[in-house]
Amino acid sequence: MVPFAFRMQARGVTAGGAPGIQFDDEVQNIMYGVNSGRFQNLGRVVPEGYVK
């Protein structure tokens, strides 16, 4: 099973205790095909229980 996309999350804190980096993004599972000359999604299914 190869997912269409995956979720990347990060939450950080600076050395002083203040909020730092924070993001919650969906990253597409794509790559550029040299032979086809275009981007293609390698995924086939959405994993069971996936919630955006």
Per-block mean pLDDT, blocks of 10 residues, the chain (52 long):
83 95 90 86 68 66
Task: Identify residue 28 by its one-letter amino acid code.
Answer: Q
Residue 52 has a pLDDT of 64
CA dist 31 and 34 (Å) reads 9
Residue 28 has a pLDDT of 84
Question: Contact, 10 vs 22, CB < 8 A?
Answer: yes
Residue 38 has a pLDDT of 87
